[in-house]
Amino acid sequence: MNTITLEQALAGVGQEAGVSPWRVVTQHMIDQFADATDDHQFIHCDPERAARETAFGGTIAHGFLTVSLLSAMAFETIPRIAGADIGINHGFDTLRFVAPVKTGSRIRTRFVLAKLKARPSGWIEIAHDVTIEIEGSQKPALTARWLTLAFIQPEEG
């Protein structure tokens, strides 16, 4: 994981912050997410029925499963700001599910640093424009402006 200074991060606003490695979305992942969220709709959990009764040709990932993978992909991709040991989700300005993620698909995320504002309290407001791409697809799985907060302990004095 790369570490950069706050000044380097500020200079990177408007630029691509990184592209995550490809990862496979498996039926096992989908089933575990369904169990955790109690969302067992057949389009996610019943491959035979989904193949018969949908245009997807099989099961698809929950949209919120796809969104939830942002944290892991960000952690392995985006440089950390030195001293910012705490990072939390703050929300989304926009979030659009563009195309379904079929089971077995490979996805990755492209991160563009859209905004970064350091507060005197030590909190840093961060916005990334994210696109989760599906290998071999013209359309992305989703696009969003993802808001996070990081914290750097202010210096005493």
Number of domains present in the structure of the chain: 1
Q: Which CATH number goes with the domain that contains 133? A: 3.10.129.10
Whether the predicted model's global pTM rises above the 0.85 cut: yes
CA atoms of 22 and 7, how far apart (whole Å): 30
pLDDT at 157 over 60: no
Residue 157 lies in a domain: no
Tell me if 52 is assigned to some domain.
yes
Q: What is the pLDDT of residues 56-65, one digit of tens each?
A: 999 999 999 9
Q: Where are the beta strands (DSSP E) in 1-157?
A: 3-4, 16-19, 23-24, 80-81, 84-97, 106-118, 123-134, 142-152
pLDDT of 86: 87
Residue 111 counted as domain residue: yes
Residue 109: pLDDT band by 50, 70, 90 thresholds? very high
Find the domain containing 33 and state its range: 3-152
For residue 10, the tally of other CB atoms under 10 A from its CB is 15
